[in-house]
Structure 1
């Protein structure tokens, strides 16, 4: 690809697919956003327009764009075959092995031999994802943080077979988005989630055990350690259902009790207290 990106396919119009698409549009990169749900695409379109108009008030370093003009550079579709002419793919489907495996098998039949697949996964092994394709050397992990358009660094994960050419191409795509790549090796959870989920899980245990409430836990991390957000604020932002699922993947992968999910987190998910996405988690929103 060198420095000549033509179009990027983004698979999945959830929270991350939506903000990555907005991020691409901020940097004048044409893209195709694919989801199986028309409703999800309508919601994503409204959110992307909103981000393009207002995110610059939060991050002054973002390029100023005309939202209406930028929106002309993205195709919203339920037909995954529309990514056939894309030069790079970023996959963001839910952290479910069967869903992901199905997507990669479809991409093999649609995309050219030279196209790299970047998996924006939280915990799943990049090597395992690569095994679902016919070209393991062209599968790589790109762990964007939420919201990606406010972050200037991305965790990039090499699978066992990921080629140097795929790494170089990924670094180039991220440079176009004005982002630095920190390249690490592949084990479930990588660096960021393998560590951050321990923080969030243990913080939930602290609340469950009555040692402190959520605000006190987060205040200690922000005021004593200088973190911008506390672990429970972060969990609410990610979504407690996503946190629980990631902890389960980590536990299954390592068979290590340190990843055993806090019962309070499961109880809150059962009660649909998922954080920002439902208006209430460890905190109330809206």
Structure 2
């Protein structure tokens, strides 16, 4: 693989483009508006500059990385010559379905499709295309340039060749790939989200204040970040979306989103990105 397309330049997408370009791949970053592309490229430039300041890379490394990142405002144009397409748009099946239908119509028959979804069924997404054997989950973690883990999710028809190619690719990016089979929430969010949800229930039921819930988990369980601070970092809307996928997928009440989480999302208090969630941010 030499050419990679990343669909979506948000928090995850720009990080994914960043790590591929740093690893020597030609990357096309696809967005719907120029302002979104500009914001994504600006974020990548700032993150690379931070790495230069910390003497992790040289100024020439930064320049070469940025030169390997190209941009497109049209999916058809952005994916036509790619060996791999990584979708990193919001956690909504309808949006992803529409994107993969467009990608399918323009990409080569040999192109591997990967989704960065954190909870939606890879098998269900693969069924949108005519290449389920070349469809896989490639779940990166935020911040992508820093976090080592990549969950590699096999759909029902993902071929062993596709799995091996993506596992090898993740290692070339300096990541640690961990395989999992398709199931709601995979491993990471199936374990993480119920913990976050239970922490929110502790606040909702008046057991403790947010800062005290987080303090217990940091000091008692050695978590580097409390679950409510982590929820703000992820985005409360994203947490709610994932919990809804888990609840719909398993029909088990233990995944029922806390009413407080629903209320906060409805109020637009989504965490870091809006300046307020369980905590306030500048």
Same fold (TM over 0.5): yes
Quick one: structure 1 residues 65 and 139, their matched pair in 2 at CA, closer, same or farther if it must change by over 3 Å? Answer: farther
Contact 1:38 1:78 in 2 (8 A): yes
**What per-residue deviation string (whole Å, max 9, x for no partner) do you get for residues 36-58 of structure 1?**
12221111111110011114667
Matched, 1:74 2:49: no
In 1, Cα distance between equivalents of 2:214 and 2:53 = 26
> 214, 239, 243: which is aligned to 1:243?
239
Which range moved further: 274-283 or 22-31? 22-31
**What per-residue deviation string (whole Å, max 9, x for no partner) do you get for residues 19-50 of structure 1?**
11112222222200001122211111111100
TM-score, normalised via structure 1 length: 0.94
SS at match of 2:145: helix
TM-score, normalised via structure 2 length: 0.95
SS at match of 1:85: coil
In 2, Cα distance between equivalents of 1:145 and 1:41 = 21
SS at match of 1:69: helix
Contact 2:52 2:59 in 1 (8 A): no
Structure 2 residue runs of 5 or longer lacking an equivalent are none
CA displacement at 1:266 relative to structure 2: 1.3
Partner of 2:175: 179
SS at match of 1:71: helix
Q: How many matched pairs?
A: 280
Structure 1 residue runs of 5 or longer lacking an equivalent are none
> 115, 132, 137: which is aligned to 2:133?
137
In 1, Cα distance between equivalents of 2:58 and 2:127 = 41
In 1, Cα distance between equivalents of 2:154 and 2:275 = 36
Partner of 1:17: 13
Contact 1:18 1:47 in 2 (8 A): yes
> RMSD over aligned Cα, in angstroms?
1.5
Contact 2:51 2:57 in 1 (8 A): no
In 1, Cα distance between equivalents of 2:50 and 2:170 = 22
